Amino acid sequence: MVKMTLIARVTDGLPLAEGLDDGRDLPDSDMYKQQVKALFKNLSRGHNEASRMSVETGPYIFHYIIEGRVCYLTMCDRSYPKKLAFQYLEDLKNEFERVNGPNIETAARPYAFIKFDTFIQKTKKLYQDTRTQRNIAKLNDELYEVHQIMTRNVQEVLGVGEKLDQVSEMSSRLTSESRIYADKAKDLNRQALIRKWAPVAIVFGVVFLLFWVKNKLW
Amino acid sequence: MNRENQGYPNFPARPPPPPSSSSSPFASAPPPGVPPQSGGPETVGFRPHTRPFTPSGPPMAPPLGVMRPVQPPLVSQIPGQGSRPPPSTAYGPPGGGSFQRFPTPPPPPSGPPPTQTLAGHFSPPMSLPPQLPMGPPPQSMSSGVPGGYASPPQPGFQQSGPPINPSYPGVGSPQPSFPGYPSKQVLQGPPSSYPPQAGGFAQHPGQQNLHPSYAPPTSNVQGLAEDFNSLSLTNIPGSLEPGLDQASFPRPLDGDVEPNSFAEIYPMNCHSRYLRLTTSAIPSSQSLASRWHLPLGAVVCPLAEAPEGEEVPLIDFGSSGIIRCRRCRTYVNPYVTFTDSGRKWRCNICSMLNDVPGEYFSHLDATGRRMDMDQRPELTKGSVEIIAPTEYMVRPPMPPIYFFLIDVSFSAAKSGMLEVASQTIKSCLDNLPGYPRTQIGFITYDSTLHFYNMKSSLSQPQMMVVSDLDDIFVPLPDDLLVNLSESRNVVEAFLDSLPLMFQNNVNVESAFGPALKAAYMVMNQLGGKLLIIQNSLPSLGAGRLKLRGDDARVYGTDKEYTLRVAEDNFYKQMAADCTKFQIGINVYAFSDKYTDIASLGTLAKYTGGQVYYYPGFKSSIHGDKLRHELARDLTRETAWESVMRIRCGKGIRFSSYHGNFMLRSTDLLALPAVDCDKAYAMQLTLEETLLTTPTVYFQVALLYTASCGERRIRVHTAVAPVVTDLGEMYRQADTGAIVSVYARLAIEKTLSAKLDDARNAIQQKIVKALREYRNLHSVQHRLGSRLIYPESLKFLPLYGLSICKSTPLQGGPADASLDERCAAGFTMMALPVKKLLKLLYPNLFRVDEWLLKPSEHLDDLKDVLRRLPLAAESLDSRGLYIYDDGFRLVLWFGRMLSPDIAKNLLGADFAAELSRVTLQEQENGMSKKLMRLIKKVRENDPSYHPMCFLVRQGEQPREGFLLLRHLIEDQMGGSTSYVDWILQIHRQVQQNG
C-alpha cells in the first residue's frame, strides 16, 4: 500500500505538494523523507534521466515518474504491485497537470500546490486495497506495460552523485598537487644551478679581490 | 498642574549650542557672540547671590509646583555625552541645557562696571560657605557661577580677575576643581543625584538679581516648567479632607496614550501595536537598571490587526534565500548597514559582517544607501512577512484543523448551549479559513465517548460509542477528522441533529479526561485547534476533579493559592503533549456550578489558547455572546504550528516570558495556534555591566503556517536608545506596557501566594518606582507634601489600583467566585495592551443628553461621548449611563431619568424590574440611535462580545454587583478608594525616602 506521496519540480527540487498524513504509522518516516529529498536533489542535477524508475530502499520501494519537469514519487511496500503504483502516479499526474499545469514553472515558494493534498488523499484511498474489483481490473489490464521499468537500489542511485563528487574532488586535488610539483621542480632546478656555479664564482671573486687589494696597496 | 509644553516658548530664546564642544560642558556655555564686557553685567548679577540665596528658598518649592523648562531629550543629550567623565552618573542633558539657557535673561539695566571690579565682587562668594548649606540654593549657585564666568571666549575677563584664576582652570578643565571655592561641594559632592534640570534654576538668581522688584513665584511659574507632574497633597496624609482636590487626579479618560516621540525619531520601527517597550530608553548599566524599579521589558502582539492600508508587506526572497546574520540569525531589517560597495552587510544586533548573496546584491549610491531601497520593503519597514523556504519546514504546511470536544451531559441540553453552539458552528462552516483544505471533527461525551464517522460518502454521520474509559482507543483510523469541503453534507447533518440527539439526555457525568485523550489521539498526526465545550465538572476517568472550590476557610491561609492552580498533574501533562503535536486548546465553560476553571484553563494556558467562561449559561441571555465569540474564534485569521523568538542586542537578554504559551527552549515560545487577540509580555535583564552601544535593537520573529498553507515568518524590528540617565528612562516610560507586565506578574503571583500578597506586591513596586523618582528630584526641590511622578507615568498609580481591583485579584472569597477569578486571570494573561487597559479602567459615559439631541451622525465615539471618571459622583440620577469594559456593557438608568427616555428605549415594560428586560430595538428614533451606538461600541472591539445588562439605580444587589463594584475610584467593601490609594502610596514613598 501507499506510504507516502511527494510531488516536486525537477529543475530545482522544489517540493510542490505532499500527501498530508504521510508516515502515520512509519517509525522512521523522517529517514525515508530525507532519502526522497536526496533523490530529488540528484534529479535536479540531472543524474538520473530515466523518466520511470523504481528504487528499492529497505522494506519499501520508491516509484517515480517524471513528466513535464515534475517528479511524482510514491513510497510503497515491496509487495505492492508495481503496476498499481504507477497507475496511481499516472492518476496524480493527470489531475495535477489539469489543475496546476500552467503554474508549475512559476511557482516560487515550497508547497505552492499544497491544496492538491486533498486529491492525493482521496486517490490514495482508492489504491489502498489491492483486492478491490477496480484494482484487480487494473492489474489485469495489459495495456500498461511496466516490465521495462528499471529497478535499482537507493544506495546505488544516491551513490552515483557521491561517486561523481569524489571523482571531481580527486581531479581537482590532482591539479593543485601537480601545480605544487611544478613549483618545487623549478625551485630545485635553481638550487642545482647555484650549487654548480657557486665555487667557481667564489674563486673568481677572491682572485679579483686580491688583485684589487694589490692595486690599492701599491 | 504643570504641563511641560509651557516651557517650550523659551526654547527659541536659547542660543544654539556652540559648534565646538570642548572637553567641559561648562566651556560650551556662553553664546559665541557675547561681548567681553558682558561679563560685567553678570558680575552685577552675581553680587546679590550672597543675599538672595536665602530668600530664594521658598520660591523653589511653591505649593503648586515649580515650573521648569523641560529639556528636549535628544537635543540636550548630545552635548551631555562625552563631556561628562563618569557615564554612570552623567546627567548630560542638564549640563548642556542649563548653560545654553543662561544668557536668556534680558540685558541688565545697569551699565557694565569696569572689569576690575570683578575681582572685588568676586571675593565675597569666598566667604559664602556658612550660608550655602541651606539646601536648594547650591544648584543655582553652581550653575550660575560657571555659566557666568567660565567663558573661554572672553580673554579679557580671564586676565582681569587674578583672584578668579585659581578657580577658573577648574571650570575649564574636564574635572572641575575649585580650590576653596564654595560651590565645589555642589559640583563634586552629590554628582549622582545631581538634578538633570538644574539648568532651569540658573535663571533664578539671574532674574531675581536683575529685577530685584520682580515677584519671584510668578516669574517661576511663567518662565519654567517642571520635568515631572505632581499632586499636591497638602492636608495631613491619611485623613481625607475636603481640601484634597480629587478632580485634579490624573485619569486616563482619553484611553491609552502611547508615547510616540520615538515612533517619530525612529520611523522604521515596527508599529507599537506589535511591540511596546516598557521604556523606550534602555539603561546603560546594571546599576542603572536596578534603580529603575519598574519592569524592563516588552509586550508583543505579533499578529495584531492592522488597519486598512497598513498591512504587513509580504516578501519572497526567492533563490537568494532569506538574508540572515550568520552568527545571531537576525533577519535582514531596515537597520542593517551595507558596506564594501554593497558586497557586505553589517548585522545591527551583533555587528557581524556578512556577505550579500549575489542575487541580493545592489550597488550603493553616494550616501551608502542601496539603489534598490525603494523596492525592498524589508529595508524600509519595521514589520514584514517573509515567505519561508523548505528549510523552515519540518513537514508540509498543515491545513487548518478544528476539532470539537463537546460535553453533552444533562446541563448542556438544558441550558440551550448545545443548540447555540451547533448553530454557530454550522453558520461558520463557510467562513472557516483555509478552504478547501480545512478539516473538522467532533467527539461528544457524557459518561461515554461518542465518535462520529463523517466519511464523505455517507449521508448521515455514524456514531460510535466507546464506554471503556480506562483504556481509550479510537474506533476508526480515518474519517473522524475529515476534509470539510468533501464531507460538508455529513457535517451539516451532524450539526443539525446534535441538539436533538441529546435533548433528553439525563446523564450528568462527564468523562472529560478520557475524551481529551481520545481527541489527542485523533489529532496528534497533524495538530490543529481543539475547542473544548465543557458544561460540568469532569467526574469520570483520568483527570477527574473534585469539588474543592469556594471553601471560605481556605482563603487567607497559605494554602489559598492551591485553589487557583491545576489540581491534577494530568492537565499540565496533556497540555505539554498537545503543544508538542501542535494542538492549541480553547476552553469554553458554561456551568453555573463550580467547574474548576483553574484546572481546565491550564490546558489553554500551555497551548497558547484562551478560556471563555459563561457562568450560568442561558441561551436567551448569553446566546449572542457565545455566538459572536465562538464565531470569531472559528473565523479569525489564525497562525498555525508557530514558534516565536525575540532577539535583542548584545549585553541584554530576555529572561522571563509571561502569557499563554509553552516555552520550548529558553527563548523559544511554542504557539500551536496564535491570532490577533493574543499578546505576550517579556522582561529583559542586562547581562553585561555596561552597554557600550548607543542603541539596542529588538527583533520579534514569528514562524508560522498561514491558513492558506503558506509558511511565513513575520518579523518586527525596533530600536531603542541606550541612556545613562534615570530621568530619561522615566520620561520615555510607557504606562500601557508597564501595566500589562504588572497585571501578568500579579496574576502569576496569585498562583503561588495569597491575593493580599499579590496586591501588596503591586503597590510596593509602584511605591519603589515613585520613591526612586522622588529621590531623583528631591535634592533641588522642597517637595513637601507633594506626590511627584513623571508625566509618562501619571496613570500608573490608578492602573495599579485597577489591577488590584480587577477580577482575578479583587477582595476576598465573597467578591468573585473562584471560577470567575481564574477565567478572568487566563483572559488577562493574553490580552493586548489596549484591551487590557480598557478592562482595567473601563469607559463610562452619559448618553441621555446625546440621545435627546437630534444629531444623526455617529462617526467617532470620542466626539460624541465624553468619558467620565469611574466614581459614583459621576453618576447623576437624572441620567442614563453606559459602562463598557470590553466584556460587558451596563446601561444604568438613573432614578430620576425622564420616563419618556426609559419608555422609548425599553418599550412597554419600562417600569418592570430591569433584570427581566432585555434591550431590543423599539420603533422609535431614540431606541434606534442607542442600538446603533451599542453596535458601534461592539464593532470597535470585535475580539469579545460585550453583553448588555440593564440596571436601575437603587436596584440592589444587582446594581452593586454589576456597576458599583466596578467603579474603581470608589471605596467598596474592604477596598481602597483612589484618594486613599494615592495617600497610601504617597506616605510610603515618603517613608525611608
- Quote the radius of gyration of chain A (alpha carbons, Å): 33
pLDDT reported for residue B550? 58
The answer to whether the CB of B579 falls within 8 A of the CB of B672 is: yes
The answer to whether B398 contacts chain A (CB < 8 Å) is: yes
B379 residue type, one letter = L
B711: chain A residues, CB-CB within 8 Å: 109-111
Non-local CB neighbours of A184 within 8 Å, separated by 6+ positions: none
Question: Do A20 and B398 lie within an 8 Å CB cutoff?
Answer: yes
The Cα angle at residue B918 between residues B913 and B919, in degrees rounded to 5: 115
A110, A117, A121: residue with CB nearest B393: A110
- Quote the radius of gyration of chain B (alpha carbons, Å): 33
* Phi and psi at residue B522, to the nearest 5°: -70, -40
Q: Is the pLDDT of residue B577 over 90?
A: yes
A111: chain B residues, CB-CB within 8 Å: 393, 396-397, 709, 711
What is the rounded average pLDDT of the residues B336-363? 90
What is the rounded average pLDDT of the residues A180-188? 95
Q: Is the pLDDT of residue A82 over 80?
A: yes
pLDDT reported for residue B321? 86
User: If you count them, how many residues does chain A have?
Assistant: 218
Question: Do A111 and B396 lie within an 8 Å CB cutoff?
Answer: yes
Paired residues of B950 in beta bridges: B891
Non-local CB neighbours of B321 within 8 Å, separated by 6+ positions: B357, B389
Cα–Cα distance for residue pair B662/B682, rounded to 1 Å:
13
- Binned at pLDDT 50, 70 and 90, residue B149 comes out as very low
**Nearest residue of B to residue A115 by CA position?**
B437
The answer to whether the CB of B713 falls within 8 A of the CB of B702 is: yes
Question: Do A118 and B485 lie within an 8 Å CB cutoff?
Answer: yes
The answer to whether A119 contacts chain B (CB < 8 Å) is: no
Cα–Cα distance for residue pair A36/B876, rounded to 1 Å:
75
- DSSP single-letter state for residue B105: S
Q: Is the pLDDT of residue B163 over 50?
A: no
Question: Mutate which of B319, B392, B435, B483 to test chain A, going by most A C-beta atoms within 10 A?
Answer: B483
Nearest CA among B7, B179, B22, B3 for reference residue B95: B22
Non-local CB neighbours of B85 within 8 Å, separated by 6+ positions: B174, B175
Strand order through the sheet with A2-9: A15-18, A2-9, A70-77, A60-67, A52-57, A150-153
DSSP string, B517-553: HHHHHHHTTT-EEEEEEE-S---SSTT--------TT
- Binned at pLDDT 50, 70 and 90, residue B192 comes out as very low
**Helix pair B39-46, B198-210: axis angle to 10 deg:** 90
- Binned at pLDDT 50, 70 and 90, residue B551 comes out as low
| Nine-digit cell string for A188 | 630545485
A21: chain B residues, CB-CB within 8 Å: 525-526
- Binned at pLDDT 50, 70 and 90, residue B568 comes out as confident
A21, A109, A121: residue with CB nearest B525: A21
Quote the minimal CA–CA distance from A143 to chain B in Å: 31
Residues 399..418 of B with a Cβ closer than 8 Å to A: which? 399
Please tell me the least confidently modeled range out of A66-70, A91-95, B241-245. Answer: B241-245
Residues 703..722 of B with a Cβ closer than 8 Å to A: which? 709-711
| Nine-digit cell string for A156 | 546505488
| Nine-digit cell string for A163 | 561517486
Cα–Cα distance for residue pair B714/B383, rounded to 1 Å:
7
Strand order through the sheet with B337-339: B337-339, B344-346, B353-355
pLDDT reported for residue B95? 37
Quote the minimal CA–CA distance from B389 to chain A in Å: 6
Question: Do A114 and B389 lie within an 8 Å CB cutoff?
Answer: no
Continuous segment of H or E residues that includes residue B802: helix B796-805
Q: What is the pLDDT of residues B215-233, one digit of tens each?
A: 333 333 333 345 667 776 6
B318: chain A residues, CB-CB within 8 Å: 108
* CA dist B46 → B42, B120, B148 (Å): 6, 12, 8
- Binned at pLDDT 50, 70 and 90, residue B390 comes out as confident
Instruction: Look at the block and give the residue holding cell 515613585.
Output: B770
A24, A114, A122: residue with CB nearest B396: A114
pLDDT reported for residue B85? 39
Q: Which of B131-145, B595-609, B973-987 has the highest mean pLDDT?
A: B595-609
pLDDT reported for residue B421? 94
* Phi and psi at residue A18, to the nearest 5°: -155, 145
Non-local CB neighbours of B549 within 8 Å, separated by 6+ positions: B563, B594, B596, B817, B818, B819
Q: What is the pLDDT of residues B94-116, one digit of tens each?
A: 333 333 344 344 444 443 443 34
Q: Which of B56-65, B125-134, B310-319 has the highest mean pLDDT?
A: B310-319
The answer to whether the CB of B577 falls within 8 A of the CB of B530 is: no
* Phi and psi at residue A115, to the nearest 5°: -65, -20
Beta-strand relationship, B401-407 and B611-613: unpaired
> Percent of chain B beyond pLDDT 70?
73
The answer to whether the CB of B305 falls within 8 A of the CB of B676 is: yes
The answer to whether the CB of B443 falls within 8 A of the CB of B451 is: yes
Non-local CB neighbours of B852 within 8 Å, separated by 6+ positions: B901, B926
Non-local CB neighbours of B940 within 8 Å, separated by 6+ positions: B861
- Binned at pLDDT 50, 70 and 90, residue B208 comes out as very low
If one compares B163 and B951, the residue with the highest pLDDT of the two is B951
* CA dist B100 → B11, B89, B93, B146, B725 (Å): 10, 21, 11, 12, 20
**Nearest residue of B to residue A106 by CA position?**
B318
| Nine-digit cell string for B337 | 548597514
Half-sphere exposure of B991 (CA within 13 A, CB side): 10
Question: Do B436 and A118 lie within an 8 Å CB cutoff?
Answer: yes
What is the rounded average pLDDT of the residues B818-843? 92
B486, B525, B710: residue with CB nearest A24: B525
Question: Mutate which of B391, B437, B524 to test chain A, going by most A C-beta atoms within 10 A?
Answer: B437
pLDDT reported for residue B385? 94
SS3 B821: helix
Instruction: Look at the block and give the residue holding cell 425599553.
Output: B906
pLDDT reported for residue B175? 39
Question: Mutate which of B478, B484, B488 to test chain A, going by most A C-beta atoms within 10 A?
Answer: B478
Residues 22..41 of A with a Cβ closer than 8 Å to B: which? 24
What is the rounded average pLDDT of the residues B265-291? 89
The answer to whether A58 contacts chain B (CB < 8 Å) is: no
- Average pLDDT over chain A reads 84
The answer to whether B389 contacts chain A (CB < 8 Å) is: yes
Non-local CB neighbours of A47 within 8 Å, separated by 6+ positions: A160, A161, A164
The answer to whether the CB of B609 falls within 8 A of the CB of B588 is: no
Cα–Cα distance for residue pair B654/B682, rounded to 1 Å:
7
Question: Mutate which of B390, B393, B480 to test chain A, going by most A C-beta atoms within 10 A?
Answer: B390
For B918-934, b/e burial (b = at least 16 CB within 10 A) is ebeebeeebbebbbebb
What is the rounded average pLDDT of the residues A166-182? 92
Question: Do B437 and A18 lie within an 8 Å CB cutoff?
Answer: no
Q: Is the pLDDT of residue A206 over 60?
A: yes
Quote the minimal CA–CA distance from A7 to chain B in Å: 11
- Average pLDDT over chain B reads 76
The answer to whether the CB of B135 falls within 8 A of the CB of B779 is: no
The answer to whether the CB of B531 falls within 8 A of the CB of B600 is: no
Can the peptide bond before residue B957 be classed as cis, meaning omega within 30 degrees of 0?
Answer: yes
Q: What is the pLDDT of residues B40-87, one digit of tens each?
A: 333 333 343 434 333 333 344 334 433 444 444 333 333 333 334 333
Q: Is the pLDDT of residue B214 over 90?
A: no
Residues 126..145 of A with a Cβ closer than 8 Å to B: which? none
Residues 5..24 of A with a Cβ closer than 8 Å to B: which? 14-15, 17-18, 20-21, 24
- Binned at pLDDT 50, 70 and 90, residue B659 comes out as very high
A18: chain B residues, CB-CB within 8 Å: 395-396
Please tell me the least confidently modeled range out of B16-25, B573-582, B812-821. Answer: B16-25
Nearest CA among B826, B811, B346, B744 for reference residue B566: B826
pLDDT reported for residue B212? 36
Question: Do A109 and B526 lie within an 8 Å CB cutoff?
Answer: no
If one compares B122 and B287, the residue with the highest pLDDT of the two is B287
Q: Is the pLDDT of residue B189 over 70?
A: no
Q: Which of B36-50, B363-377, B895-909 has the highest mean pLDDT?
A: B363-377
The answer to whether the CB of B186 falls within 8 A of the CB of B176 is: no
What is the rounded average pLDDT of the residues A3-19? 87
B525: chain A residues, CB-CB within 8 Å: 21, 24
Non-local CB neighbours of B174 within 8 Å, separated by 6+ positions: B23, B24, B83, B85
Question: Do B437 and A122 lie within an 8 Å CB cutoff?
Answer: no
How many of the other CB atoms lie within 10 Å of CB of B820?
Answer: 15
Question: Do B387 and A24 lie within an 8 Å CB cutoff?
Answer: no
Alpha helices by DSSP H, B611-681: 619-635
pLDDT reported for residue A144? 59
B709: chain A residues, CB-CB within 8 Å: 111, 114-115
Can the peptide bond before residue B196 be classed as cis, meaning omega within 30 degrees of 0?
Answer: no
pLDDT reported for residue B745? 94
pLDDT reported for residue B930? 86
The answer to whether the CB of B639 falls within 8 A of the CB of B706 is: yes
Beta-strand relationship, B314-315 and B383-387: parallel
- Binned at pLDDT 50, 70 and 90, residue B552 comes out as low
* CA dist B991 → B772, B790, B985, B987 (Å): 12, 19, 10, 6
Cα–Cα distance for residue pair B302/B671, rounded to 1 Å:
11
Cα–Cα distance for residue pair B226/B71, rounded to 1 Å:
10
